[in-house]
Amino acid sequence: MKDYDILIIGGGMVGATLARALRGQGLRIAMVEAVQADARAEPGYDDRAIALAQGTRRIFDGLQLWDALAGEATPIHQIHVSDRGHFGFTRMSREEEGLSALGYVVPARVIGRVLGDAVAADEAVDMYCPATLIDVDCGEEMASVSIEQEGVVTTLSARLIVAADGADSPVRKQLGIEAVAADYRQTAIVTNITPQLPHNNIAYERFTDTGPLALLPMSDRRCAVVWTVQTEQAGATMDLPDDEFLARLQERFGFRLGRLQRVGRRQAWPLRLVRAKATAGRRLVLVGNAVHTLHPIAGQGFNLGARDVAVLAEIVVDAVRRGEDPGDADVTDHYAGWREADHRRVTAFTDGLARLFTLPLPAFGPVRGAGMLALDLLPPAKRLLTRLTMGRGDRVPRLARGLPL
């Protein structure tokens, strides 16, 4: 059996961000990941984009990684929200917030490479990849997992297990932690397009009768597209020839960016809400999609997970500096209590928007339009919406202020 202080199950962006956050603290860390990522993927037109909130940018600042990301990050100067076929829209701008950008759009390939390089360079982190999780046990004094690699079973023990293993979290399921799940009956079609006109660093969120449609500014005049359609329409939409797909997308989005001229490879993702009923347990915490899987309507998924990491890292590091056990109940309970309000607020916000703006009843159209117009005219209300989308909360951990731990 190999012993560690922290055992991170899941080596994706959230798990890797946590490993980076805990560097240099004298902690023995292991990371278990099922799939070997291709961190050296070449750049291309079809780069998948991740929207980073301003708060997440500050977290990467605190991790001393932002400089490695900034060169390929496209800043968002303005967010334009509208409801197709109805009056009313709202705009959020960097000038109103006194910031250089409201957020950034970064290729997932770049984030994965930067985080992967950082973790690989940390001698305090042992990586087990690819590895299959077989069993999890959280005891009073220690927690342990059994993993299988190439037919060989290994047992790892740790004082704290961090489940960063996604929406279908094997850790959560094996430990019997229940989750509330809701199927939106929608599918997100994700692709990149090139419009006729420059995007001018504006992110567009357009609500349609089949679900929200987002266009995010990217490099090389591209826009990342997240187009939500009813699940029963997804297959036919995915199969459309490029010219018909662009024509259909044009009809849903309009001509604010002129004619849509090129489309890349498409991917489809069924959408659902998943919220774990517990964020922590004995010698266990859940982070990222393992505890909350959201509708992409406001781009909060990874950003919420990054805030999980910032809070957990601060609590763990402070406990270790006091000579305390990083897996003690005081640590896990502190994490769960601190994250509860943010989880609840963002889940309610994204779920409420997803449901309100896809209601088919005609009477709701004018109400939504009036609501957006009122939001645009009432600075306090719009400021609250902006704070939510930028990842600002009432209590901000040190990393989310751009400060080291």
**DSSP class per residue in 245-291:** HHHHHHHHH-STT--EEEE---EEEEEEEEEES-SEETTEEE-GGGT
What mean pLDDT is predicted for residues 79-108?
Answer: 82
Which residue would you say has higher pLDDT here, 122 or 349?
122
Over the stretch 154-177, which tens digit does the pLDDT of each residue have?
999 999 999 999 999 999 999 999
Please report which confidence band the pLDDT of residue 368 belongs to, taking 50, 70 and 90 as the band edges.
very low
Strands (E), 287-371: 292-293
- Give the Å distances, CA to CA, from 389 to 65, 103, 213, 233: 22, 9, 16, 29
For 246-262, letters b (16+ CB in 10 Å) and e give beebbebbeeebeebee
What mean pLDDT is predicted for residues 24-37?
Answer: 94
CA distance linking residue 369 with residue 182, whole number of Å: 27
pTM for the model: 0.91
> Quick one: what percent of the chain has pLDDT higher than 70?
88
Cβ 270 vs Cβ 187: under 8 Å: yes
Q: What are the extents of the domains in the chain?
A: 2-181+272-401
> What letter represents residue 196's amino acid?
Q
Cβ 218 vs Cβ 224: under 8 Å: yes
Q: From 322, 333, 307, select the one nearest 395 (Cα to Cα).
A: 307
Cβ 249 vs Cβ 225: under 8 Å: yes
Spatial CB neighbours of 367, under 8 Å, sequence gap ≥ 6: none
Over the stretch 135-159, which tens digit does the pLDDT of each residue have?
999 999 999 999 999 999 999 999 9
Which residue would you say has higher pLDDT here, 341 or 84?
341
CA distance linking residue 212 with residue 228, whole number of Å: 6
Q: From 357, 386, 385, select the one nearest 207 (Cα to Cα).
A: 357
CA distance linking residue 212 with residue 252, whole number of Å: 10
Q: What is the pLDDT of residue 385?
A: 55
Ramachandran bin of 166, using left for φ above 0, alpha for ψ from -120 to 50, beta for the remaining angles: left
For 38-70, letters b (16+ CB in 10 Å) and e give ebeeeeeebbebbbbbbbbbbbbbbbebbebbe
Tokens 């995007």, residue located: 199
The pLDDT of residue 211 is above 80: yes
- Give the Å distances, CA to CA, from 332 to 165, 215, 325, 360: 18, 38, 11, 43
The pLDDT of residue 308 is above 60: yes
Over the stretch 98-116, which tens digit does the pLDDT of each residue have?
889 999 999 999 999 999 9
CA distance linking residue 17 with residue 64, whole number of Å: 11
Q: What is the pLDDT of residue 40?
A: 54
Please report which confidence band the pLDDT of residue 372 belongs to, taking 50, 70 and 90 as the band edges.
very low
Q: What is the pLDDT of residue 83?
A: 74
Does 3.40.50.2300 match the CATH number of domain 2-181+272-401?
A: no
What is the H or E stretch that residue 181 is in?
strand 179-195
The alpha carbon of 28 is separated from its chain's Cα centroid by a whole number of angstroms, namely 27
Q: What is the pLDDT of residue 272?
A: 93
Number of H helices, E strands in the chain: 12, 20
Tokens 């977290």, residue located: 59
Q: What is the sign of the dihedral through the CA atoms of 210, 211, 217 and 222?
A: negative
CA distance linking residue 84 with residue 234, whole number of Å: 20
Spatial CB neighbours of 18, under 8 Å, sequence gap ≥ 6: 8, 162, 164, 287, 309, 312, 313
CA distance linking residue 400 with residue 310, whole number of Å: 7
Residues, the chain: 405
